[in-house]
Structure 1
Amino acid sequence: MPTGAQLTVTDQRRATRHPVDFPVIAEHHVHGDMNMHISNLSAHGFMIDDAHDLSRGDRVIVRLPVIGRIEAYCIWVRENRAGFQFERIIRLDDFMSIIDELQPNPRLRRPR
């Protein structure tokens, strides 16, 4: 039987990603507090564009508007970018509230 986080990356890559400009301080179990810049966000995870000292499988805790602290797992790293999957899916109404708060350009928000 497999152990550890059971991440269904292929299923969740189809989630709509919203461009955001959100600096965050992430808690890493080895590196401590790390400054990160979230450049896109979905209900399943996020991408940062300033990945340093991160490897696939690393876990971080970030604080997002509306939902507060949430854990995420690094599922890929390429050059200076890294993709993270949340340990749980964010509810749609909470996610839309987050996007309303973080989306720098209201014209890029999806119509409801």
Structure 2
Amino acid sequence: MQTAVLDHTRFVKRAERLELSFPTEISGPTTAPFTALAMNISRSGMLVDDAGSLQVDDFVIAILPKLGGVLCRVARLSKGRAGLKFDREIDLKPLLS
């Protein structure tokens, strides 16, 4: 009988998310400016409802309310949506006020 060994390094705790949504302006060196609905926001990234012409690994600036421009990398694309990873963790408190 073989014993199963779990690789705990594969499990990454999911970051806390805010159930907020707001329009955000997105632009980048290879992306014409467009507006998308930002949602499912965490300290490390967010989901936008319209991926536009974004490609995985594109770098873009997303304008967030009360925070201004945040550099992001397109981490994933799925069903017309884009998962953006912030270049640094953001403080979520200003988005709540």
Query: Shorter chain as normaliser: what TM range?
Result: 0.7 to 0.9
Question: What is the CA RMSD across the aligned residues, in angstroms?
Answer: 2.0
1:56-78 Cα offsets, whole Å, 9 max, x none, are 10111012123211100000001
Report the equivalent of 2:24: 24
Report the equivalent of 1:84: 84
Look up the SS of the partner of 1:23 in the other structure. Answer: strand
| AA aligned opposite 1:88 | R
Unaligned runs of 5+ in 1: 1-9, 102-112
How many residues align? The count is: 88
| AA aligned opposite 2:68 | G
Partner Cα separation in structure 1 for residue 12 and residue 69 of structure 2:
21
Judging by fraction of residues, say which structure has more helix.
1
Unaligned runs of 5+ in 2: 1-9
**Percentage of matched positions with identical amino acids:** 28
Displaced runs of 4+ in structure 1, greater than 3 A?
10-13
Judging by fraction of residues, say which structure has more strand.
2
Q: Tell me which structure has the larger Cα radius of gyration.
A: 2
Partner Cα separation in structure 2 for residue 57 and residue 40 of structure 1:
20
**TM-score (norm: length of structure 2):** 0.78
